[in-house]
Amino acid sequence: MGERDDDAQGALEKTRIPLLRDLYTAEEEDGDIKRETWMETKKLWRIVGPAIFARVSTYSIFVITQAFAGHLGELELAAISIVYNVIISFNFGLLLGLASALETLCGQAFGAKKYDMLGVYMQRSWIVLFLTCILLLPMYLFASPILKFFGQPDDIAELSGIIAVWTIPTHFALAFYLPLSRFLQCQLKNRVVAFSSGLALVVHILVCCLFVNGLKLGVIGTMATINVSWWSNVFILFTYSTFGGCPLTWTGFSTEAFTKLWEFTKLSASSGIMICLEYWYYRILIVMTGNMEDTKIAVDSLSICMSINGLEMMIPFAFFAGTGVRVANELGAGSGRRARFAMVVSVTQSLIIGIIFSVLVVLLHDQIGWIFSSSETVIKAVTDLSILLAFTILLNSVQPILSGVAVGSGWQSFVAYINLGCYYFIGLPLGFVMGWIFKSGVKGIWAGMIFGGTAIQTLILIFIVMRCDWEKEAQKANVHVRRWSVSNSRN
């Protein structure tokens, strides 16, 4: 009894003395924050970990292809870099944006336990993306005259046009892969996507060795291997999703997929414009270098930097996906506070990783070019651009995650205007002025685009998410889920 009296007396003293009470509360809150951070980190990395592996694997398919082409010659490297960074990336950015509508719809529906709607949303996305692919075909069929119109040299444009035709199967594979991967991602089935991507990478390496080293098919054979890899990826994910891997969310093909297509297309278009304006931004830099002196060296060195940046960007893109899903799940479940906390944890961890990679680029600035080219001139040009590459990696460790918040919250249209203003009305003109007016070349163009576009856009997004009323966003998400699922519930 004496011990109980002492405990009660101690508790009473804590309530009487404000300082002791505040310290006790602070300790409790500190423990809660640590526990919440750990729990959120585990939830986030269930998505981000496999997503990093999947994205690095799929992007490595291009990096390996570019490396094979780079050792064939400077012309081959320049042509395959142009095809990827201009034509494929232009279309991939649009399809990626259109597919990102699923991260809003499927993420919020999964959080609200409207599981049957996920399969319907994916089928709608297949329809929209496949029709979009048909509309984009002329870019592949008429690649040579298009590239010549934008100032690319004739030899690069001609070879690029031949390569572009060989990548058309990959173009259509993306229309199925992107919705499938997001459908699984929103259900936290990221290990399946990671396994599929890893297997596709292995297939790509084997086919590359066969086509390039064994059969000596040259740059055409190098690019053709991408088709085998991407369709292998699609086949694995489609088989898993439709043959028992997702019993709650896949209930078979449905005519419901053909309803509300216009509304779905409008939301997809908003997502498409937002992502495209981001994704195309640095790809335009490749086109702009085509009008400079020593075009092959400029394109080759910049393409190598963009490849390294693109490979590292798979980590922020994984956080983009994870943040979009986590924010959408929490908003769909009606918890605005948890959605905001998920965003803070994600941005912090991605920034730490970005700082590490930026430092590595600075330390290894004179060695990173050897992976892609044997040309001393190209390697020296890559070394000269390494500081700008480090700054780009650092900024891109934050910006995509904030875009992921926008996708998870359904703010795509609003952010599209921000991207348009920052990137294309500030960044590109500033890059043009620094590159051509002040005669700073590739460095000037790139610096203007980084500090004039990306940095300003990132600051604006930080201001928006910090001022957001997250509880109000949670209420809007619940209304959104009910509106989109009403027709399905009638059936």
- Residue by residue, what is the 3-state secondary structure of 283-324? HHHHHHHCCCCCHHHHHHHHHHHHHHHHHHHHHHHHHHHHHH
Across residues 369-378, what is the average pLDDT? 75
CA angle 27, 33, 36 (to 5 degrees): 140
Spell out the residues 6+ positions from residue 384 whose beta carbon is closer than 8 angstroms to its own: 301, 443
Which comes out higher in pLDDT, residue 72 or 465?
465
Q: Rounded to an integer, what distance in angstroms lies between the CA atom of residue 394 and that of residue 428?
A: 20
The domain limits of the chain are 46-485
- Are the C-beta atoms of 18 and 316 separated by less than 8 Å? no
Predicted confidence (pLDDT) per residue in 315-348, tens digit = 888 888 788 778 878 887 778 888 888 888 999 9
Q: Rounded to an integer, what distance in angstroms lies between the CA atom of residue 233 and that of residue 201?
A: 9
- The interaxial angle of helices 154-166 and 74-82, nearest 10 deg, is 60
Maximum separation of any 2 CA atoms in the chain, in Å: 95
Q: Rounded to an integer, what distance in angstroms lies between the CA atom of residue 452 and that of residue 434?
A: 11
- The interaxial angle of helices 386-396 and 441-449, nearest 10 deg, is 10
Q: Residue 132 above 80 pLDDT?
A: yes
- Are the C-beta atoms of 219 and 135 separated by less than 8 Å? no
Q: Rounded to an integer, what distance in angstroms lies between the CA atom of residue 362 and that of residue 383?
A: 9
Q: Residue 18 above 60 pLDDT?
A: no
* pLDDT interval class at 3 (50, 70, 90): very low
Q: Residue 357 above 80 pLDDT?
A: yes
Across residues 245-257, what is the average pLDDT? 88
- Are the C-beta atoms of 484 and 109 separated by less than 8 Å? yes
Q: Rounded to an integer, what distance in angstroms lies between the CA atom of residue 391 and that of residue 160?
A: 30
| Of 335, 345, 342, residue with least CA distance to 471 | 335
- Residue 136, pLDDT score: 92
* pLDDT interval class at 11 (50, 70, 90): very low
Spell out the residues 6+ positions from residue 261 whose beta carbon is closer than 8 angstroms to its own: 124, 127, 128
- CB-CB neighbours of 380 under 10 Å: 13
Q: Residue 480 above 70 pLDDT?
A: no
In this structure, which amino acid lies at residue 428?
A: L
- Are the C-beta atoms of 188 and 108 separated by less than 8 Å? no
* pLDDT interval class at 294 (50, 70, 90): low
- Residue 61, pLDDT score: 86
Across residues 246-270, what is the average pLDDT? 84
Take residue 66 and report the two structure tokens written for it.
């570019």
Spell out the residues 6+ positions from residue 456 whose beta carbon is closer than 8 angstroms to its own: 422, 426, 427
Phi then psi dihedrals of residue 322, to 5 deg? -65, -40
* pLDDT interval class at 396 (50, 70, 90): confident
Spell out the residues 6+ positions from residue 98 whose beta carbon is closer than 8 angstroms to its own: 125, 128, 129, 132, 178, 268, 269, 271, 272
Predicted confidence (pLDDT) per residue in 96-122, tens digit = 878 877 877 887 788 778 888 889 999
Cα 306 from chain centroid? 14
Q: Residue 25 above 60 pLDDT?
A: no
In this structure, which amino acid lies at residue 356?
A: I
Q: Rounded to an integer, what distance in angstroms lies between the CA atom of residue 323 and that of residue 100?
A: 12
- Are the C-beta atoms of 164 and 87 separated by less than 8 Å? yes
Take residue 266 and report the two structure tokens written for it.
């409008």
- Residue 168, pLDDT score: 93
Take residue 219 and report the two structure tokens written for it.
């740059």
Query: Mean pLDDT score of the chain, rounded to an integer?
Result: 81
The pTM (predicted TM-score) of the whole model is 0.74
- Residue 17, pLDDT score: 43
Q: Residue 10 above 70 pLDDT?
A: no
- Are the C-beta atoms of 41 and 345 separated by less than 8 Å? yes
